[in-house]
Structure 1
Amino acid sequence: MTFAWDDLRFVLAIGRSGNLAAAATALSVNHSTMFRRLNAIEASIGAKLFERLATGYRPTEAGQRLIEAAERMETEALALDRDLTGRDTRLSGQLRVTCSETLGLKVLTPLIRSFRDRHPGIVVELSVDNRQVDMARREADVAIRATRPAEGDLFGRKIADIHWGFFAARDYLARRSRPKILSALGGHDLIGWADNAPQTKAGAFLQRQVPRATFGFRANGFVSQYAAARAGLGIALLPIYLAAEDGELVPVLGRVADLVTEMWIVTHRSLKDTARVRTFMDDVGNGVKREIARLSR
């Protein structure tokens, strides 16, 4: 029997997510469409591909073989797509970019506006996402992220060192004594990380340096912590570029000498010579470097 890629795509989505609802979301179809397509595929081959369990859909032996075949086909299709895109010399087309919420809020959007003014044929699609996306699967063409790329198929460069500091609202400091040393933070309301938040170097530093601090507010992202600090909920450890030039916030204790993180701009190695990717990485990457340096002085 010959399988259409579209059928295999449905099987792969269910295999990856383990349930129809998440698979439907991944493929931008509704739940009933997923249900009908799976039943039709199983009927056409005369075999069950998934066991329907209370906990989700578990692939049968036949289903697992199809999932593995679909993964191989997807890998080849993505490699071909990257290869063809990598030969593109036009300064036009779609460019998918991902960055953290803090960078998107404070720095990147104005730089993208300037980039679009110079290159109106390039349509930038920005995904603000704190997770590390899969560049090999073309979840993004360019990523600006806080970690040095460990994957061998990525190409990029460090564009900034990120410096950190404690910040609080003026009215909070008017109500409470201003801490003069790091250990004095234990007597203050601190803004920390929610239990389900991803681990960050800043969060680990906070727990290590102020282990008995009172956390009056917790959130799973820096933008929420920044907003909480502005609202007077406590003292927050933030990237300096995020809090800089904000008249509502006051730096406390100065720059944290023992906490410096990095910012990298990366792409898949096969896309590095694509005109729109190369131009964005040069123009916007250099712009981010300048803005971070200016705001961190």
Structure 2
Amino acid sequence: MALDWDAFRFVKAVAERGSLTAAAAQLGINHSTAFRRLTALETKLGARLFERLRTGYAPTACGQAMIEAANRIEADVTRFERTAAGRSETPSGELRVTAPTSLAVELLMPILADFGDRYADIRIELILAEAALNLSRRDADVAIRASRDPSETLVGRRLAAVAWGIYGRADRDYGDLASEAWVSPDPTVAGGTFMRFVGTQTTAERVKLRINTVTGLEAAIAAGLGIGPLPCFSGDAHPALRRLSGPHPELGTDLWVLTHPDLRHAARVRVFMEHMAEAILPLRPRFEGQGEES
């Protein structure tokens, strides 16, 4: 019995979404088309793929077997795409780059502008996300990531140490920092490292705001909501802020540029990683909390 990839992809979407309506929206078809496709597929197989429950569509044993096959097919297709992409010899084509939102405005845009001037045949898709995207699934080709211990499944290079300090408004005087109002990253940022640090500096009652992005944290401190931790490369450069203490070694991390091993020899990936290393080198003192670059 011949089944094409679309059939497997369709069943996988229904299982992941739990309903025909949501799966249809994901696949860009309407509900009636999805209903007809599922009915025709079950008729062709002579078996039910899903139990229709009030809570949604639950896969049967046959449906689960098809979903597992779909996962294997998807993994094989992705592996082939990485292999094919890694054999490109000229720096051209689309390059998917992911980076934390906090790096975009001050750091990345000038570097990307220079890169675009050098390599006009490479088109960049920039994905700003605080969460780490999966490079094995090709959610991105290259990741610029702050990490103390990057994944062993990736390859790349360390660009700089990233120092953190405590910052407040430049136009205010501060006394005992523990008695000041604070703002803090929430538990989703760096696995809660910064939130735990704030907990060692002041009481829970003094924390007036928790937020899930470093960019939002900087804006909150600049607005006067409270003092809080920031990476020195951005805090030192902000005209409305001044450093109150630090750098604090327990908050330090490293900036990496990473890719999947299958892609490291692709020309567009290689030249981008080299360009990032070249661009970051003169900025290292700023990342390390030594002030503006010369």
> Normalization by structure 1: what TM-score?
0.87
Q: Check if 1:237 corresponds to 2:226.
A: no
What letter corresponds to residue 98 of structure 2 in structure 1?
T
Q: 2:260 aligns with which of 258, 268, 271?
A: 268
- 1:89-108 aligned at under 5 Å gives the runs 89-108=89-108
Cα deviations across residues 235-263 of structure 1 (Å, max 9, x unaligned)? 12111112222111111124223321112
What letter corresponds to residue 13 of structure 2 in structure 1?
A
Percent sequence identity over aligned pairs: 37
- Secondary structure of the corresponding residue to residue 3 of structure 1: coil
Deviation at 1:30, TM superposition (A): 5.3
What letter corresponds to residue 150 of structure 1 in structure 2?
S
> Structure 1 pair 195/34, CA: closer, same or farther in 2 (3 Å)?
farther
**Inter-partner Cα distance in structure 2 for 1:70 and 1:193:** 38
Aligned to 1:165: 165
**Inter-partner Cα distance in structure 1 for 2:43 and 2:107:** 53
Q: Does structure 2 retain, via aligned residues, the 8 Å contact 1:107–1:288?
A: no
Q: Check if 1:206 corresponds to 2:216.
A: no
**Inter-partner Cα distance in structure 2 for 1:118 and 1:253:** 40
Q: Aligned pair count? A: 287
**Inter-partner Cα distance in structure 2 for 1:290 and 1:139:** 30
Aligned to 2:68: 68
> Structure 1 pair 293/133, CA: closer, same or farther in 2 (3 Å)?
same
Q: Does structure 2 retain, via aligned residues, the 8 Å contact 1:107–1:291?
A: no
**Inter-partner Cα distance in structure 1 for 2:260 and 2:188:** 30
**More off after superposition, 17-26 vs 276-285:** 17-26
**Inter-partner Cα distance in structure 1 for 2:21 and 2:223:** 38
> Structure 1 pair 11/222, CA: closer, same or farther in 2 (3 Å)?
same
Q: Does structure 2 retain, via aligned residues, the 8 Å contact 1:95–1:141?
A: yes
> Structure 1 pair 64/208, CA: closer, same or farther in 2 (3 Å)?
farther
What letter corresponds to residue 58 of structure 2 in structure 1?
R
**Inter-partner Cα distance in structure 2 for 1:21 and 1:208:** 48
Deviation at 1:64, TM superposition (A): 0.7
Deviation at 1:187, TM superposition (A): 1.0
Unaligned runs of 5+ in 1: none
Q: 2:210 aligns with which of 198, 210, 218?
A: 218
Deviation at 1:151, TM superposition (A): 3.5
- Secondary structure of the corresponding residue to residue 238 of structure 1: strand
> Normalization by structure 2: what TM-score?
0.88
Aligned to 1:14: 14
- Secondary structure of the corresponding residue to residue 250 of structure 2: strand
Q: Check if 1:149 corresponds to 2:150.
A: yes
